[in-house]
Amino acid sequence: MKAFAVSIASAAAALLALAPLEAQAQSYRCVDKAGKKHYGQTIPRACIGVEVEQLSASGTVVKRIPPPPTREELEAKDAAERKRVEDDAAARERARRERALLARYASEQAIEDSRARALDAHANKVKEIEGTIDSLKRRQAELSKEMEFYQGRNKPPEKLLEDLRANRANLAAEQANLATTQKESDDINARFDEDKKAFGEIRARK
């Protein structure tokens, strides 16, 4: 039994002794950019930037070590990855919008009905602003008439002057609001035109 244990210990020691020899037996080889071959127990400095072959003790290739990517390759890879991520996000957004569109409308007629309601609401908004403008204009006429009373007389009261300035400012703001709002009808039609086109394309794929 003792002899058997000694035999195992001897075999283990022999394997440990052979391990560094086996590691040393391996070598590396490459062909540089000029076509010259290089060998070494470690990767030769001349092999930096080119593919390296790891050789066994018998000289066979056991592993190929690719060269590190160049800066241009890394930048191209990063750009490709960014594009992939952006394309995936765009595809998910398209799918989300299509699901929402199909949930919102059952038919193209439903889109036209929604368009009509949106345009009616817009027309009411325009009328409301126009009514406000008419009221401000009437108030402007009243204030101007009061100002005429003071022509060539005493200085108008400060309150009258403040009311006149405020009314002019409000009138200008509402007139600008009206101009902006009137243009919104084009945006409304464009939005429903886009929805109708997308709806038709989705139905055509089904």
- Both 39 and 98 in a single domain? no
Choosing from 60, 85, 104, the residue where a domain stops is: 104
- Both 135 and 64 in a single domain? no
35/126 Cα distance (integer angstroms):
80
- Both 170 and 87 in a single domain? no
Instruction: Give the least confident one: 22-26, 48-52, 190-194.
Output: 22-26
The verdict on residue 1 lying in a domain is no
- Both 194 and 122 in a single domain? yes
- Both 53 and 116 in a single domain? no
The verdict on residue 5 lying in a domain is no
Choosing from 104, 128, 162, the residue where a domain stops is: 104
Give me the mean pLDDT over the 132-150 stretch: 94
The verdict on residue 114 lying in a domain is yes
- Both 131 and 191 in a single domain? yes
- Both 91 and 137 in a single domain? no
What's the pLDDT at 155?
86
**Residue 124 predicted with pLDDT over 90:** yes
Give me the mean pLDDT over the 141-168 stretch: 90
**Residue 71 predicted with pLDDT over 80:** yes
Query: Helix, strand, or coil here: 54?
Result: strand
Extract the tokens encoding 193.
Answer: 């035109």
117/130 Cα distance (integer angstroms):
20
More confident residue, 154 or 47: 47
- Both 182 and 157 in a single domain? yes
**Residue 1 predicted with pLDDT over 70:** no
Write the DSSP assignment of 88-121 as a string of letters.
HHHHHHHHHHHHHHHHH-SSHHHHHHHHHHHHHH
- Both 62 and 130 in a single domain? no
The DSSP bridge partners found for residue 29 are: 39, 53
More confident residue, 24 or 126: 126
- Both 96 and 149 in a single domain? no
Identity of the highest mean pLDDT range in 14-23, 27-36, 62-71, 127-136: 127-136
What's the pLDDT at 8?
30
Domain containing 182 equals: 106-205
- Both 157 and 129 in a single domain? yes
**Residue 38 predicted with pLDDT over 90:** yes
Q: Which of 165-170's residues contact partners 24+ apart within 8 Å by CB, and which partners?
A: 167/136, 167/139, 167/140, 167/143, 168/140, 170/136
Structural domains of the chain, count: 3
What's the pLDDT at 88?
97
**Residue 3 predicted with pLDDT over 50:** no
